[in-house]
Structure 1
Amino acid sequence: MKPIKSLRGKLFFWYITSLITVTAFFYFAVHIYTLPYRNIFFTILLIFLALEGFFIVRKMTDGLSKLSSKIKTITSKNLNEKVTDIESEDEIGELAFSFNQLLDRLLQAFKRERQFIGDVAHELKTPLATQRSNIEIALTKERSNEEYKKVLAEVLSDNNRITTTLKNILDLAWSEAESAKVKKDIVNLSDVVSEIVEIATKLGLAKKVRVFGKVDDRIAILGSEDKLSRAFLNVVDNAIKYTPSGGSVRISLTKKNEQAKFQVKDTGVGITKADQPHIFERFYRGSRSGKVYGSGLGLSISQAIISAHKGTIEVKSDIGRGTTIITHLPLH
């Protein structure tokens, strides 16, 4: 017979055995054998049962006291500490194990927050420093209108970088907020992707990248049109950025297994096997990013938005042969 590990089981077992023992004692000691000193034996029996119950309850309260004492010492600075002095396999042990898992999740959340703040500061520091430098240089002496225009153009470019970064951060905060709820509007995904194909065609002209679109009609899902458009556009923008002149980007929207399948395939530089697991991480830029400007937030935002719509996004890539990003979303 396996030992009872559950505190609830132990208490129930103690309760039942106590009832049976007391009943049996009265039956045999009083009615059958009429034992002498039965009152003394009964008192000893009650003391024994009470002590057994006391030890069971004490074990419960000791475990809870240890856990409570440990919880009081935990702060944001020592989340790596764990409850290690509770090794029982009962409910108290399960509670300690769950608490340790909670500490692990909190530790990871704090690490991500600190990294996020550091990354944001880094992303804003460079354009702000460049902007300030340009303004200071422009003010050192009198300059011609053309020189002032050049400085203002550079300042505007830096300002656009800051604006883009802040917009990306706000989008990422929205998509990852626990309280964020996607609007349950009916979105005509065919129209959304058709518009993105037109935008991509214009973006491709500047780099001499050909854009092809294949969009099936009447594909609809529930969600936010604005957010989905942003998610898809981020993927397409990335494809065009990393595709050299003369290359191509193919955008398609089809139905497959009660899902909408959005696919973007390019003939760009490709993504290394080492980089592929990280491309959806915030501020991550691959080893082959080169001089291509970007904040490293685009695909993070896309993944968060797609996830908020109960969808999936995955990448397939070969160096020198291009990259394919595939998104699946549940149909309406």
Structure 2
Amino acid sequence: MGKLGKETKNLLLAITVICLISFLLAAGLSFLLAKDFQHEMLLHDYGVSGYQLNHEDKLQISAFTAHPNESDIERGKEALASIGYSEATSMQLLPTVREYRNQTMLYLLLLLLFLFGMVYLVLLFYLRRQHRAIDDAGSKIREFLDGNSMSRIECSQTGDWYSLFHDVNEMATILSAHAESQKQTKEFLQDIISDVSHQIKTPLSALKMYHEIISSHKGEAETVANFSEKSQREIKRMENVIYTLLKLARLDAGIIQMEKAEENVSALMQDVLERFETWAEQDHKEITLSGKDDISLNCDALWMSEAIGNIVKNALEHTQPGGHISVQWTQSPLLTQIVITDDGKGIHQEDLYNIFKRFYRSRFSSDVHGIGLGLPLAKSIVEAHGGTISVTSTLNVGTTFTLNFFSLTNE
């Protein structure tokens, strides 16, 4: 069993003391039984002697088999007392009584030895099993503390110890979840810092260069105006990057509580149209809306408008003059669906799996101003509403974004 613990030693010591006390009690009990046996034997001898003295004519078997009466006992007692045989006679002078006492003591001791031997064996087996289980639990806990977050104590059996082991496993799972959450938070912050630094580095470099040019050409109004305009464009680009990243970061961190309400989808789409109507007219493009006026969606209007607006903006950027963007919505008992379709140049097949990644830029793209955050933000907003977003596209034919919001009509 290895080194015994203090509790185990105390338990074994207590059982040993109980065993010794039981042996002493057995010895005392055997003495009392022997005294009782001696008393019964004396009564028998008194009766036999008295019967014989009262019936001196002949020896009868009745002297040994009949129940002696009081007169026989009294006469036998007086007769045997005269030769020194009485209650006061020492047990040591009576071999039969002494043998009875010794045999009784032996049987009681053997019985106690057997009982306590079985108790010891069962106890040792139990303690050995528990000691092994505790050792295994200790090794698993040390593994967990050494960094193995998947280490768990085997607790498939029942009992107090295994109940405790189950609680320890549950605590380890909670600690692992907290550790994983902290790890993800750390990685998330690292990614955000990396993204911000990567995206801001280029416009900052450009701003520095424009500032140097403006400083060295202060007297040239046209040059100063030209590079001031470029500086403003880079500052605007930095603002877009920072604001969009902050929105994504807040969504990813789960610190934004969507203020959902039943919103009319037609009014929501009309709001999106008004934001991009002027841009579309200037580029000779058309945005059309199609859907029933009585359809509603349980959502946060501002965030949903942001998501759909980013998709429409993406469609405008990738549609040629004269192009058409269609926004349609339908509703069934199962879902509310919003479909945004354009007849632009489409998306290459290899890009379809990456367009929702942050800062992704296709090698086929000619857009030099996009930052690659609009569609990822739209996806995050849709998913924060419990919806899904998918895309299909055919080169030189067009692209379709489909937003599905399941069972929201029953909320």
With normalisation by structure 1, the TM-score equals: 0.75
Q: Aligned-pair distance for 1:112?
A: 4.8
SS of residue in 2 equivalent to 1:277 = coil
* Aligned-partner residue type, residue 335 of structure 2: Q
Question: Is 1:50 the equivalent of 2:126?
Answer: no
- Residue 303 in structure 1 maps to residue 379 in structure 2: yes
Q: Which moved more, 1:143-152 or 1:58-67?
A: 58-67
- Which of these residues, 280, 295, 298, is aligned with residue 356 of structure 2? 280
Counterparts in 2 of 1:215 and 1:54: CA distance versus 1, 3 Å:
same
Matched letter for residue 142 of structure 2: S
Q: 1:127-158 deviations in whole A, cap 9, x for unaligned?
A: 11111110111102333333222222111111
Question: The residue matched to 1:139 in structure 2 has which SS?
Answer: helix
- Which letter maps to 2:307? A
User: What is the distance in 2 between the residues matched to 1:35 and 1:287?
Assistant: 97
1:147 partner SS:
helix
What is the Cα deviation at residue 108 of structure 1? 6.0
Equivalent residue runs for 1:31-46 within 5 Å? 37-46=110-119
Does the alignment pair 1:65 with 2:138?
yes
Q: 1:1-332 maps to which residues of 2 (within 5 A)?
A: 37-74=110-147, 83=150, 90=156, 95=169, 102=177, 110-329=186-405, 330-331=408-409
Tell me, in whole angstroms, the C-alpha distance in 1 between the residues paired with 2:342 and 2:228.
Answer: 35
Once the two structures are superposed, residues 75-132 of structure 1 have per-residue CA deviations (whole angstroms, 9 ceiling, x without a partner) of: xxxxxx6657x69584879959968985777666655543332222111111111111
Over aligned residues, Cα RMSD in angstroms?
3.2
Q: How many residues align?
A: 292
CA contact (8 A) 2:214 2:227 kept: yes
Secondary structure class of the residue paired with 1:40: helix
Whether the aligned pair in 2 keeps the contact of 1:242 and 1:292 (CA below 8 Å) is: no
Q: Does the CA contact (< 8 Å) of 1:253 and 1:260 recur in 2?
A: yes
Q: CA deviation at 1:62?
A: 3.5
Structure with greater Cα Rg: 2
> TM-score, length-normalised on structure 2?
0.62
> 1: distance between equivalents of 2:196 and 2:268?
30
- Structure 1 letter corresponding to 2:270: S
Do the aligned residues in 1 keep the contact of 2:339 with 2:400 (CA within 8 Å)?
Answer: yes
- Determine which structure has the larger helix proportion and give its number: 2
- Which residue identity lines up with residue 141 of structure 1 in the other structure? H
Percent of aligned pairs sharing the same letter: 23
With a CA cutoff of 8 Å and minimum separation of 6, indicate the structure with the bigger relative contact order.
1
Q: Which runs of 5+ in 1 are unaligned?
A: 1-33, 75-80
Which deviations, in whole Å up to 9, do the C-alpha atoms of 1:210-263 show, x marking residues without a partner?
A: 222213212222332111110110111111112223322111122133432111
Name the SS of the counterpart of 2:218 in structure 1. Answer: coil
